[in-house]
Every structure is written in C-alpha cells, then in structure tokens.
Amino acid sequence: MDKQVTITLFMEQVCNDILVNCNAISKQMGDDADADIRADIQSPDADETRSIVCRAVTEAIGNIKHAGARYMMFGRNDDDDRLERLAYEDASTGKVAYEKAVLEMKIPNFNLSSTDALKSHMHKYVVDYAMARFLHDHHDEKHTQYAADASAEYESVKEVFRSRDRFVNRTSSWCG
C-alpha cells in the first residue's frame, strides 16, 4: 500500500544553520588567517557570496529529488526557481520571508516511523552540501569535511527511502 509522505524543508532553518556554521569556522580561523577570506566565510549572505549558497541549496534539493524521483508526486517536470533566492521581501509586510521546499511523495509500503529520520537527513544533507560548495575556494580542510558529511547524509537519505513496514512474499522456500 502506498503511503503519502510530505516533507517540508524550511529555508530559514537551512540558512540559519549555514550562518552558524560559517560563524564558527571564521572564529576558529584565528587572527593569522587572511582577513578577506575570514570575512567572506563569516558572511555567506553577503551580496558577493549569496548566489553561491542559493545555487548550492538548489542543487542539493535537486539531488534529493533525484534520489527519490520514483516516489515524487510533483516537481519532476517543472521548476519555478523559487529556491534560487531562498528568501525575499514580502511586499505586504516589508519583512523577509523564506521559501520552503515541499516534497510530496507516494512511497510503497513505507515505514512512516522513518519520516523524521528522512527529514533530518535531508536537512543535514542540504546544509552540508551548501557548506561544502561555499567553502570550496575558501577553506580546503572544512570543504573536504563538509563534502564527506554531505556524501554520507545523501547515502542515508537513499537508505531511508528503502525503509519498509513489511516485505511481501518473504517466506523461505523450504517452509512449504
């Protein structure tokens, strides 16, 4: 039986995690680090670097959609580029509003208790992937660490997609 699973990734949470990670890295760099590189890492939301993060988040969500393509109900044939900006100014309130990525899926025989794990792995993958892409030309050691973490999280996403309640016709052949 197909189970409908809807996962919403909130870009405000993703952006906050990226900002916290970047701030921690810049503090760890110490006073002897190149001031320009340190300043770039400290402000991934600056005009000069924001597009790198936006593109990386979009790529990561595209990869997640690819991993679960057979289950996606929407989003396989169209893209409205909402995530290219992550946040925007709401015309009615004048405040910053963040986008969200909504993944609606029908997964056969899915173990619904795995939904929280799936969302957590997806969120962490998006953050780690964006961090790796952002740090690519700024900090080799951290770039390598985040790239490895993103790769591991991506494998976890694919593994959770395979979580099933029960396996049909799994009786041993010698049991008559």
**pLDDT tens-digit series, residues 39-91:** 889 999 998 889 999 999 999 999 999 999 999 987 655 665 665 678 888 89
Q: How far apart are CA 35 and CA 22, in angstroms?
A: 14
Cβ neighbours of residue 52 under 8 Å, at least 6 residues apart? Answer: 44, 133, 134
Assess whether pLDDT exceeds 60 at residue 172.
no
C-beta atoms surrounding 63 within 10 Å: 16
Cβ(98)–Cβ(12) below 8 Å? yes
pLDDT at 82: 60
Q: Facing residues of 118 across strands?
A: none
- Confidence class of residue 33 from pLDDT cuts 50, 70 and 90? low
What pLDDT sits at residue 80? Answer: 57
pLDDT score of 30: 74
* Domain segments of the chain as ranges: 2-166
> CB under 8 Å to 126, separation ≥6 — which residues?
9, 14, 57, 60, 61, 64
Q: Which two tokens stand for residue 64?
A: 């997640």
Give the pTM. Answer: 0.88
Q: What is the pLDDT of residue 87?
A: 86
Q: What's phi and psi for 37, nearest 5 deg?
A: -65, -45
